[in-house]
Amino acid sequence: MNPQNSAPWGAGWQSPQQSRPSGPPDTSGRRKWLKRIGIGALIFVLGAGCGGAVTAGGDTASSAKAKPSPTVTVTATVAPAAMTSQVKSPLGTAEQVARKHGYTVSAHDASNQDAAPGDDWTVCFEKVTYQSVDYAAVPGDAPCPTADGRPIPWPTMPGVVGRSYDKALTAIGKVTDGGVTLKAAYADEDVDEASADEGEYDTWKVCFQAPSPATRVKGDPKVTLWLVDGSCPAKKGTYKDRTNDPDYAPPVRDAEKPSSGSGSAGSGDTTSTCEIVSNSGNCYNAGQFCRAADVGRSTHAANGRRIFCRDEGSVNRWNY
């Protein structure tokens, strides 16, 4: 059957195939539609890029409310300037240097005594952090401990008895700068410290010393040395020549002893033994009164010992 004749829609209907025109299809309408879409998208993008929304008329509008920009505060901490070590410096000077460089300063006792440091103390240790410095110090005349908080290792006096003066001086100089005083070991000798500077006593022997050996040396104490050119006496104050001792009593020879023959007891020829005799011609003894004219004089008593006439206030007496 021919479809054309049996079409139910009437004789005038044509199928799509029959009504399609020949030749290439017309796409101009589609291009116009795409063109309108492209222009709209371009306007939207340009509007959004300018910070606003695209209105129906193609204009851009700013946002309803602009959000505030956040405020950022930056705090910068400046590091203190670098400084040299202040160990062995006076504490007061070290603190000034640290503050000048911008450090916060503190200080404490470097020993185990926990005393309050002074400006004249010496810095032994320092602990430097980012912005602060802590000094550990000791008194100016004290040596530093081996570590912070340890006892002060005070030196001890060396024993120099028996050494020559020049060697003793070297040993003493290692523990004190207080100086040395010289004395003669014998009471009837003398030393001149000016001559010591010229080396006159360098080879003399040290017989006694003060302070004594092993004494703890704090600060710079003075040292006294008793010297001799030869052998040392048994003790200080000894006279090398016994006759120079005011208490020396020369031995009484038999020929000079009082005679036990004629004459009263206690009398006799004593002029060869006693330089000064009483008005009665007898030797004086210690404890007896002496004449005002004899004050300050000496003589030998009846026992051979030397006695002195001294003013004892209200009376004058002979005594050793």
Residue 186 neighbours by CB under 8 Å, 6+ apart:
228, 233, 238, 239, 240
Tokens 């199928």 appear where?
Answer: 15
State the DSSP code for 156: B
Tokens 């070991």 appear where?
Answer: 185
Nearest to 108 by CA among 65, 148, 162: 148
Q: Mind listing the pLDDT tens digit for each residue in 54-79?
A: 454 555 545 556 667 777 666 656 66
Beta bridge partners of 109: 137
Q: Mind listing the pLDDT tens digit for each residue in 142-166?
A: 999 999 999 999 999 999 999 999 9
High-pLDDT (> 70) share of the chain, %: 69
Q: Hey, what are 66's tokens?
A: 């602009």
User: Model confidence at 293, in pLDDT bands (50, 70, 90)?
Assistant: confident
Tokens 């040396």 appear where?
Answer: 217
Q: Mind listing the pLDDT tens digit for each residue in 208-252?
A: 999 999 999 988 899 999 999 999 999 998 999 887 887 777 665
User: How far apart are alpha carbons 218 and 154 in whole angstroms?
Assistant: 6
Residue 284: the pLDDT is 86
Mean pLDDT score of the chain, rounded to an integer? Answer: 78
DSSP 272-287: TT-SSB-TTSPBP-TT
**pTM exceeds 0.85:** no
Residue 311: the pLDDT is 85
User: Model confidence at 271, in pLDDT bands (50, 70, 90)?
Assistant: very low
Q: Mind listing the pLDDT tens digit for each residue in 164-214?
A: 999 999 999 999 888 899 999 999 899 988 888 888 999 999 999 999 999
